[in-house]
Amino acid sequence: MKFIMAIIKPFKLDEVREALTEVGIQGLTVTEVKGYGRQKGHTEIYRGTEYAVAFLPKLKLEIAVAADVADRAIEAIANAAKTGQIGDGKIFVCDLEQVMRIRTGESGGDAL
């Protein structure tokens, strides 16, 4: 299994969620976060306003997936989240050792 953490522009959430649904993703966690990338200290447009602050609002998506679905999920996120402008975000991928579905006690791929 793989654990995908994606930082995206907030207004891209619906598009990314729809793209992930098409890939068959069953669950997703979203958190409001703030961060910066390479342009720290420089300006970036957010909702039509130019910000010069160091930390910009982003959304963090966390998705646990079967290993054979990971590449398709990553591609779906990247395609849906891309505007081509700075600040489009990043996708981090880790190996995921274990998952447990609390209600049923299922573990591993069955728990996703």
For binding to ligand ATP (CB under 6 A), which residues are involved?
7, 35-39, 56, 58, 86-90
Question: Taking Cα atoms as reference points, which of 66, 83, 61 lies closest to residue 23?
Answer: 66
For residue 4, what are its two tokens?
Answer: 């995908």
Q: Which stretch binds Mg ion (CB under 5 A): 1-9, 16-24, 26-34, 39-47?
A: 39-47
* Partners of 26 in the β-ladder: none
| CB closer to Mg ion, 67 vs 86 | 86
The minimum distance between CB 99 and Mg ion, in angstroms, equals: 32
Question: Taking Cα atoms as reference points, which of 103, 99, 35, 31 lies closest to residue 67?
Answer: 99
| Chain contacts with Mg ion (rule: CB under 5 A) | 37-39, 86-87
